[in-house]
Amino acid sequence: MHELSVTVGLVDMITERVPSDLRVTRVAVEIGRLSGVMTDPVRFCFDLVAAGTPLEGACLDVTEPPGHGRCRRCGSDVALPDLLTPCPCGSHEIDLTGGEQVRITAVEVEPARPAAVGEESARQAGSRQAG
């Protein structure tokens, strides 16, 4: 399941670039339909991978741009729902022009909320009881 490693990579890239005084509220990514990355597992893995990072609790918006290509035989621009679809002229000699990307398109942040005094006291009391 390489979607887990893709998700780890996305979270790591953002975490490395977001200052520690900010928390991420939303991440938008494009995962092209011809990228070989399945979007549902990425969505599933995101909350698990983001836990304990500035992305914890962030909303993940995924768009799936369709595949496109240009036929070498007839020169047509063709929509490609998958990599096995031929050009309407019958040729499979198609250069891909879209739909392979996996990229972060937006990251929204807000100031990190300092723990409220009551929350911090409860957390400290809980750690003393656990220890």
Q: How many alpha carbons fall within 13 Å on the CB side of residue 40?
A: 0
Residues 80 and 34 in one domain: no
pLDDT tier at 115, thresholds 50, 70, 90? low
CA–CA separation, 100 and 79 (whole Å): 13
Residues 57 and 75 in one domain: no
CA–CA separation, 11 and 115 (whole Å): 23
Residues 84 and 73 in one domain: yes
Is 89 annotated to bind ligand?
yes
Residues 121 and 71 in one domain: no
Question: How many independent structural domains does the chain possess?
Answer: 2
Residues 58 and 24 in one domain: yes
Q: 27-62, pLDDT tens digit by residue? A: 999 999 999 999 999 999 999 999 999 999 999 999
Which CATH number belongs to the domain containing residue 18 in this structure? 3.30.2320.50
Is 45 annotated to bind ligand?
no
Residues 14 and 34 in one domain: yes
Residue 20 Cα distances to 23, 53, 106, 113, angstroms: 8, 10, 18, 11
CA–CA separation, 130 and 126 (whole Å): 6
Structural domain containing residue 39: 2-65+101-130
Residues 81 and 47 in one domain: no
pTM for the full predicted model: 0.77
Is 74 annotated to bind ligand?
yes
Is 71 annotated to bind ligand?
yes
